[in-house]
Structure formats: structure tokens, C-alpha cells
Amino acid sequence: MSAAPLRLTDIVRDIEAGRTTPQAVLAATNERIDAGDGALGVFTHRAPETSRAEAAAAKGPLAGVPFGAKDVFDSFDMPTEHGSAIYRGHQPAADAPVIALARAQGAAIVGKTATTEFASLDPTPTRNPHNPDHTPGGSSSGSAAGVAAGYLAGACGTQTGGSVIRPASFCGVAGYKPSFRLFPTVGVKTYSWSLDTVGFFAATVPDVALLAALISGRPLADTPPADASGLTIGLYRSAVDDLLEPDMAAAWDTAARAIEAAGAKLIEIAEPASLSAAREIHAPLQNFEAAQALFHERTRHRALMGPKVLEQLDHGASVTPEEYDDARRTARIGRKAATTLFENADALLVPSAIGAAPYSLGSTGDAMFNKLWTITGNPCVNVPGLHAANGLPVGLTIVTRFGRDARALAIAAMLEQRLAVD
């Protein structure tokens, strides 16, 4: 069911060179979506004709780039329903800043992409473009699947546990979770204010780097290094590594050997107890905040909510303020400990998920290998290019020191190139 993903850098280059036009790119995009999305379920809403016409005439470096907005981001021209029956038909008056900034650069917001309810765990109808019997991951299900299907050259998502990196891995695309609060979460439905992070998807790492750079105005799209000479890469051995499936373990080893062959020095880093503890308090921290952020919905509209989000919210309501404060302290200690990981390493190489996308549409997969880096706020980039024995994608994550997003993207792009050659 999958088509070749759209390369954002190619679209920008071809339009600049006059080889195509924004109008032609967007017309072809909408034709592909019309023909195929009935089977995949990427979109919850498509842009109205007035917005399509405005996008086709837009100027700017992202003119002609089809972009998908996860349906927890406010949009002035399409409903924002948060994947919930409670918000059916809800129409904000304004775009979330990230959406407004993308439009200002010329991006065409072609539709709202499917999200699990309130970006939690109840699955969407979206299917994995590589095999429709497997989950695309979540909660940014539609954004990752839309890029993998060749409908979108870029998309935004959010990560509170693993909702950018894991679906990027499952769908075989690049996913970028920035340093915490690098991009505004204003106009995005809050689940956990200590953890919610805006992120992006694109076909390859250079594509997602260019997308993030143009939206943010930050120098995130550095030229990748020619090789890994002079880099020290840490293989982060965590307390949950025994959960890894053989395909992911093999991919981790393949990626490590590739970056070592490119000149990097590999070192083993054992997980400190403080970071194991930080991972373990993800649930009480997240769920306490979610129970407050969604208090109205939980108490007034329970009958309209999915069982998995309700389970998380009810757990959060049972967490005491004292337990929450303890979790916050543990998270703060973990963030300080995460900084020390980079005293001897330029970056870490870690799994993006337990394995390939599960054979299931009733689950979005497990975020166990993502939660820690969401808590610590470090920038993460899913590197696509490897596959499980059944042909489904598996990804590895490059993690760098907080605030070193450009370095994370550059090292990830170099690794992606090496995996393509090997």
C-alpha cells in the first residue's frame, strides 16, 4: 500500500529550479490522497477549497510542500477534534503557532492527521502503509503514516511518551523530537505539561531537518559530516534492554557497526540508577497532569471517552500530590544525570522501539524506549533505513545533549547515509 515518500528537499529544489510548480505538486498530492486514503485512514479532515487555493498561491521556502497537522493542533480552517467524540466539529478561531509558522513559510496544510484520543493510547483507524495489518504507531498515527504513504512531505506531531519516535520507526520515516519546549505547544491540546513536546516527520533526516529549520528560523539543517571521524558514540545499555526483540537488537548492532566503520569511537554506557528511576516515574508524572488537564472531559463526558485514556486518567486521579511531587523530583534528578552522559560521548545510539510494528490494530505499540528521553527533554532523531526479517521498518535513535538539536540531526543524517550505502 505504500508509495515512495515525498522528499521535501527535492520538492523545494525542483520548485526553485523551475522544474515544477507548487500548483502541480499539490494537485498531484491531492490526487494521491483521494485515490488511496480510504484504505489507510491518514486524515480526519481535508483542507477546504479556499485553503487549497490559498496554499497553491503561497510564497515562501515551503511553497508547494504538502504538510499534515496532527489533530491536536488548532487550525482555523478545519475542525480540531483531538481524536475525541467530545470535540466532534470543534472549530478553533486561530491556528496553533506551529501551524501558523508553517503556513507563513508557504507550507500547504492539506489536512488534519489522525491522532489517538487526546494523544493517548486508544488506537485510530489508521493503518501502516507497509502492511495494513500492522499498527502505524501512535499517538501521531496519521502524521507518520501520511509521510510513509507519500501523501505528505512533512507533518507535525507530539510526543508525551514516544509518539513521534515510535511511529516514525514503525513507518520507516525520519522523526525528530526536539529539545523540550524548543517549539511552542500553545494551541496544542495539553495532556502533560511537563512532557508534551512538538515534533516533526519527513521522509529522511535532511528533510525533517530542513522542515524544522524553516519553521523555527533556527540553524537546524547543518551539512552532515562526511564521516564519523572524531565522534564518540555511546551505546546506552538500559534497564529495559531485555524487552528488545531480536530484529531491533540486530538493527542496533548493524547501526553501531556502520557508524564505527565511518570512523566513530564506540563506548558502552551503563544506565545510572537515577535514569532508571526517572523512566519508572513517567506514568505517575504524566497521568497526574493529564487527570488535571482533562478534568472537565473526564468528569463530564466519560461515556464518550475510550477505555485506555480513561484508565490513564483514573490512574492519574489516584496519584497524590505528594507522589506527584516525588516524581517531579526524580525527573529533575534524572535530567541532571542525563547531562553527564555526554561528558564522554557526542551522542547516544539507542533503539527507537521494542521492535517492528506489532501485528495489531488494537495497540499502538510500547513506548518503553522513548519515555526516558521525553522526561529528560533531550533531542532525539529516528534514523530510518533498516528492516526486520518480515520486511517492516525498524529505526534507531540518535540522542544528544539538551539544546544540541542541530548536532543530533547532523549525526543522524550521516548515519542514515551510511546505512543506505551499506
Q: Which residues are catalytic?
A: 70, 139, 163
Query: Among residues 246, 249, 152, 231, which one has the least CA distance to residue 415?
Result: 231
End-to-end CA distance of the chain: 26
> Cα angle vertex 324, ends 273, 180, to 5°?
70
Contact 208, 221 (CB under 8 A): no
- Give the start-end residues of each E strand in 73-210: 108-113, 154-159, 174-177, 197-202
**H or E segment at 272?**
none
Residue 84: partners with Cβ closer than 8 Å, 6 or more residues away: 117, 118, 297, 304, 305
**H or E segment at 383?**
strand 380-387
Interatomic CA distance for residues 35 and 292, integer angstroms? 42
Question: How many other C-beta atoms can be found within 10 angstroms of the C-beta atom of residue 307?
Answer: 8
Cell of 121: 493510547
Maximal C-alpha separation, the chain: 61
Interatomic CA distance for residues 160 and 283, integer angstroms? 10
Query: Among residues 185, 179, 231, 181, which one has the least CA distance to residue 405?
Result: 179
